[in-house]
Each structure stands twice: as structure tokens, then as C-alpha cells.
Amino acid sequence: ALLFQNAFEAALLTGLARIPIRAGYRRDARGWLLTHPVSIDPRIIQLHQTYYYLDLIDQLLDKPRAALGASRIPSGDTAKVTPLPDISLQVSVSRKQAARNRLRAEGIDSHKKLIGVNPGASFGSAKRWLSERYAGLLDRLIEQQGANVVVFGAPKEVGIAESIRSLMRQPATILTGKTQLGELIAMIACCDLFITNDSGPMHLAAALRVPTLAIFGPTDEISTGPLSPTAVVLNKKVECSPCLLRECPIDHRCMTRITVDEVYQQASQLLSS
């Protein structure tokens, strides 16, 4: 068992299950439960989490640490300029065509720009931009860009999508809770732009190399941002961010300070690039 999860419980469960090989980072007081405990290089913490897990695999494969240091861990405070791993997803022609057919059946005009939106975030409400601002943004994109808008999300996020639709002047297609993972990936691949909070679908869009506009607040894009040359992050960098809290205990300033105008202007640039 390769334990990417850092929790003590993950090591305990695999131990109780008597899985003969249990590998993972030596943290959360769980090293004694692992057959192959791996130490953390403290410099890895400065980088994107992708490097954190790649380093775990490298150490298990017994790759030379000098090569790792040269290729992935910078010397000094250079985390922001570290080369990104080449991580991408490909969707087959048949799956993409099936997604286009489904979108057409939902009333999407294939001659217009297609904008996918993911307004949810399972982590907690702190990561979500406000519903009324999503509504205002989507109205402007429909009215001024002539775009089709499709809202995606998990079944438990239907309420968020419906709240946005209720605040809009223009019609939007709501597919929240109506797609399987494979279908979601194929539909995102059909988009000309994907607008999202820090979330799983954000990483899918980035890996698909779809132009991605990610709205960040309580989390840190250096650690969990989209790994793509076609992605842009909006983050106000307020004094209490990144707090990494699920719920904001004060006034949600990291998100409320991001305006509809700012997001619209950035979205317009991505659509025209």
C-alpha cells in the first residue's frame, strides 16, 4: 500500500488489514506502523504538493538524492520559479464526441464559446467565491461574450448551482451532480475556458490544458495551484491568507475583495488569447 494520505489512521488501517508492504511519509507519529517509512526533505514543503508526492515515490525507488536535488529542489528561496512537472490528460476522440453530443442535447450551441464553471469546493465554504458574484459574472459572459455557460459540480453542490441560477438574468445550463467522472473530464476538455475555485475540477482542467481561471482565497497557489501554462490564478493576498481554514471565522475578505470586474477582465483575456 502506497499511502499518499498523511494521516495516522491510514497507516493504522493498512496495518490492521495486514497488508505486507506499507509505504508512506514518516509523520503524524505513524512511522512504526509502516514497513517502508520515508523521511521528508524540509525543502519539499516549500514547493507544489505534486513535488511532495513525487519525492515520496523517488525515495521508494531509491533514486539518487543528488539527481533529485538538481532537478526538483531549488537551493535558496526559489520555490516560485521551480519548473513545473509535465502533467497532462488526454481525452479520446470518441469520448470527446460523446461529450459534445450530450452538451448539444442540453441545448448548447456548438458555434459559441463554451465556458465551464465550477463554483463549489468540497473542502469548505471558505474556498468558494460568492454565489451572487458568480451570477453577475456569468450574466456578463453570456451577454457580452455571447458564450454558452455550463455549471458543473458534485451532487452535494446542487444547491450552490441553483442559487447562482436563481440570481442570474440569463439562462445557464446546470449539470451539477449530473455527470460521471469520465464524462466530466470529457466535457471540460470541450471548454474554451474553465472558471473555478481551488478544487478537483480545477486540476482536471489544468491537466487538460484548457485555459483555466482559478479563484483563490484561503489556500496557497504555490502549494495547490493549477499546474498548467494556460492557467491564471486570482488571489488578493490579504493579511490572513493563506489560513487553510474550511470556514472563515471573520469576514471572508480574501474572497469578497475579488470583484466581478476583475474576474470578467481576466476571463475575457483568456478567451481572446
Asked if residues 160 and 128 have their Cβ atoms less than 8 Å apart, the reply is yes
Locate 155 and state its grid cell.
451532487
Q: What mean pLDDT comes out for the span 90-99?
A: 97
Q: Where are the domains of the chain?
A: 2-79, 93-272
CATH number, domain 93-272: 3.40.50.2000
Q: What mean pLDDT value characterizes the chain? A: 90
Q: How confident is the model at residue 154 (pLDDT cuts 50, 70, 90)?
A: very high
pLDDT score for 85:
62
Q: Which element (helix H / strand E) includes 231?
A: strand 231-235
Element (H, E) at 128: none
* pTM for the predicted model, two decimal places: 0.87
Tell me the three state secondary structure of residue 37: strand
Place of cell 448551482: 161
- Strand, coil or helix: 178: coil
Compute φ and ψ for 234, nearest 5 degrees. -105, 125
The C-alpha cell 460568492 sits at: 130
